Chains A and B, each alone.
Chain A
Amino acid sequence: MQEIASSLWRSAARTDTGKVRARNEDAFLALPEQGLWVVADGMGGHQNGALASRLIVEYLAEPSEGNLQQRLVELRKRLHGLNRRLGQELTVTAERPDTLIGSTVVALLVDGDRAACVWAGDSRCYLWRGSRLYQLSRDHSLRQQLIDEQQYSPEQAARHPSAHALTRAIGASEELQLDILELDVLPGDAFLLCSDGLYQGLSSDALGAALNLPSAHFALQRLFEQALDGPARDNLSAVVIRR
C-alpha cells in the first residue's frame, strides 16, 4: 500500500492478487503531485497480462507538460501508441497465432478545478459527491452492451455467459476508441479508480460508505477489507483520491 500526500491532493493506492488467481495482472499509478492516477487490468495469459498493464502504467508515468487539455492529448497519444504496439506489433508463434495481449485502462487527470477521466474496458471511475455515488465511466463490456443495445435488464445481462467479455481494451483492436469525460471538481469530492475485481465484490452502498470516510487511506483500507472478506476470485486494485 502506498499513500502519498501533496499540498492539494491525497491519494492511496493498492493492488492485491486476490484469493484465487496465481498472479496479479493489475497495475496502478498514483502521482498526486502531477494530478494523475491510473488503474489497468491486463489480459493475455501467462505473464502477458501483467506486462500489458505494467507497460501502460510505465508509459503514462513519464512526465507530461502543459495544461489539462495538453496533458489529455499526450495521454491519449500514448494510449493509442500502446494500442498499436500491443495490437499490431506482436510477434506470435505458429502454435498460438491468436495471442492477445491487452489491458483495460482508467485514468484520472486533474488540473485545478477541472478533471478528466479517460477509459477503455471495464475498470471504473467513481465520484463520491454530496453523499451520492456516481459512476463516471461506462463499462466497455458485453454486459453493458446488452443493457444498452438489446434492452437487457442488468440481471439478465449479468447472467450472460460472456457478460464480462470486454468490447474495448488497449491492444484489442486496430482502432482504439477511448471514452473521455471532463468535469468540474468541487470541494469534498472523492474519486475511486478500480478494477472489476474490486467493484464486483462490493455493493455500491459499500463503495459509498468507504468513500465517505475522512481520508483516502481509511477509504482504501475499508474497501480492501471488505473485498478480501468475500471470495476475491479476481485481482483487485483501487486508487482513492481526495483533496
Chain B
Amino acid sequence: MTEQLLESEQVLNGEACDLTYFALAATATQAEKNEQPRSSAPARLGELPDVLGGRYKIERLLGVGGMGAVYRARDLLREQFGDPEPYVALKTLSDDFAEYPDANSLLYSEFALTARLNHPNVVRLFGFEVDVPSQRAFLILELLKGPTLDQLLCERPEGLPWDELSEIAIALLEALTYSHQLGVLHGDLKPSNVMLADDGLRLFDYGLGQPVEGLLPGLPRLCRNRFTAWTPRYAALELLDGAPLSPAADVYALACVLYELASGRHPFRRLSAKQAKSMELDKQLQRPEQLPVHCWPALRTALAFEQAQRTISCAELLHAFRAPPLGRWTRWLRGTH
C-alpha cells in the first residue's frame, strides 16, 4: 500500500480548496458498478425500548436476518438474585413484520413450535413475552457463543476435511431429523442459522417453521400464500413456485449447506434453485473432494431440484453420513471406486 500526494485534485462541490487526495494503488481498482440507491422510510412503530418487558436490558445487536433481529440482553431479575451469568438472547420482529396485524402471533407460533423441541443441537427457548408499552412481542432464548456456519465458511473458503465436516453434519442432521420426527419443519435452513456453540452445535431460528399437517391444530399457521419468505440461495424450487413447506424443502436447504461445508462453495454458484435449474447446473454437479464417496449418492439426491426426485428423508441422509467410510478394498470389491 503506497501513499502519494496528488497536489491539485479538487473535490467537494468543485470548490476551490486545497483539499487533496492520498492516491494509492488500492483505490485505483475498478469500482463495482453495483449502484444501490439509499432509501429511508418514515417510522411508524416506536423505537425499540432499552428494557423490554420491564426485565430485559438490551445490550448489543447480535444478528439481523431480514425478518427479525437478535439482541444480547441482561435479565435484570436474574441479576438481582445474583446470577453471575444473567445473559439471554432476545428475538424481535423487524418493523416491516411487526406492523402486520397478527405479527405477535407469528412470533408466538415460532415459540410454540420450538418450545416443543428438546434436543442438545436445537436452541432452547425460555419464553415468549409482549412488551406492553411498545406492543412488541419478543422471544427469550439461550445466549450462545461461537461462530455461525457462514462465519466458518468465510474463514475456510476451501471447505472442511471429513473429520470436521462429519461432526458438524451429523449434529445438524440429528437436529433436523429430531425436528421432523416431532412434526416441526424449519423452513429457513442456511449457514447463518447454525451456530457452533462452545458446548456443541445449535440449529436456531424457526421463524418460518411450520408444523406438519394435522399437528398442533389451532396454532396460528404462517400462511405461505399470504406471507411467503425464504432465503434465495437455500430455498427449494417448489417453495419459490409457491408450494407449501415440506420436509423435502428442509432437506434441499440442508443439502446445500452440507455441500458448501464440504467444498467451500455453494453447490449452484450461489444461485437460486430456479436460476440454477434453468442453467441445468445440476448436470455439472461434482462430488466435493473432501466428501467420502459413500455420502455422495445421498447428498446428490437431496440436492435434486424437483421435489419428486428428492427422494431422501433427513433421517436417511443422516444414516448415510453416519456410515463409516468404505475402505479402499471394500470400494473396489463393490465396484464403487
Contacts and interface: CB of A to CB of B under 8 A. Distances in A.
A joins B in a complex = yes
Contacts of A203: 12-13, 15, 17
A45 B18 contact: no
A33 interface: no
Interface in B275-305: none
Interface in A115-173: 132-136, 138, 140, 142, 144-145, 148-149, 153-155, 158, 162, 164-169, 172-173
Contacts of B231: 89-92
A50 to B, nearest CB: 9
Given A154-B11, A204-B12, A51 B270 contact: no
B267 interface: no
B27 A97 contact: no
B interface, size bucket: 35 or more
B18 A132 contact: yes
Interface string B6-42: 0000111111011111101011010111111111111
Interface string A38-80: 0000011111110110110010000000000000000001001
A101 B66 contact: yes
B84 to A, nearest CB: 20
Interface of A: 21-23, 25, 43-49, 51-52, 54-55, 58, 77, 80-81, 84-86, 88-97, 99-102, 132-136, 138, 140, 142, 144-145, 148-149, 153-155, 158, 162, 164-169, 172-175, 177, 179-183, 199, 203-205
Contact of A167 (B12, B31, B41, B229): B31
In the complex, the 8 A-B pairs of residues with the closest C-beta atoms, listed nearest first = A94-B228, A90-B66, A154-B14, A91-B66, A165-B35, A89-B192, A43-B38, A204-B17
Contacts of A182: 1, 3
B14 A158 contact: yes
Given A46-B95, A48-B64, A49-B40, A89 B150 contact: yes
A145 B32 CA distance: 9
B325 interface: no
Given A22-B43, A51-B64, A80-B154, A174 B270 contact: yes
A84 B154 contact: yes
Contacts of A154: 10-14
A91 B228 CA distance: 10
Given A168-B32, A172-B36, 10 more contacts: A54-B61, A88-B270, A91-B67, A99-B66, A100-B36, A133-B18, A166-B35, A166-B37, A179-B27, A204-B15
Contacts of B134: none
B39 A44 contact: yes
Contacts of B94: 46-48, 51
Given A167-B34, A203-B15, A91 B207 contact: yes
**Which of B34, B43, B69 has the most C-beta atoms of chain A within 10 angstroms of its own C-beta?**
B34
A153 B10 CA distance: 10
Given A154-B10, A180-B1, A92 B64 contact: no
B191 A91 contact: no
Contacts of B67: 91, 93
B65 interface: yes
Given A22-B41, A138-B21, A166 B36 contact: yes
Contacts of B42: 22
B63 interface: yes
A154 B1 CA distance: 27
Contacts of A48: 64, 94, 96
Contact of A89 (B13, B20, B191): B191
B57 interface: no
A164 B38 contact: yes
Contacts of B20: 132-135
B329 interface: no
A108 B231 CA distance: 34
B19 A183 contact: no
A102 B27 CA distance: 21
**Candidate in B40, B47, B95, B96 with the most chain A CB atoms within 10 angstroms:** B40
Nearest to A44: B39
A84 B38 contact: no
19 contacts: A23-B47, A43-B39, A45-B39, A46-B95, A48-B94, A49-B38, A55-B63, A85-B64, A91-B207, A95-B228, A101-B66, A133-B18, A148-B31, A154-B12, A154-B13, A162-B37, A165-B36, A168-B32, A203-B17
A77 B22 contact: no
Nearest to A80: B154
Contact of B40 (A22, A153, A165, A204): A22
A52 B27 contact: no
Nearest to A100: B36
Given A91-B65, A92-B232, A135-B19, A43 B36 contact: yes
A93 B228 contact: yes
Nearest to B188: A91
B230 A142 contact: no
Contacts of B153: 84
A58 B19 contact: no
A158 B270 contact: no
A155 to B, nearest CB: 5
Contacts of B227: 93
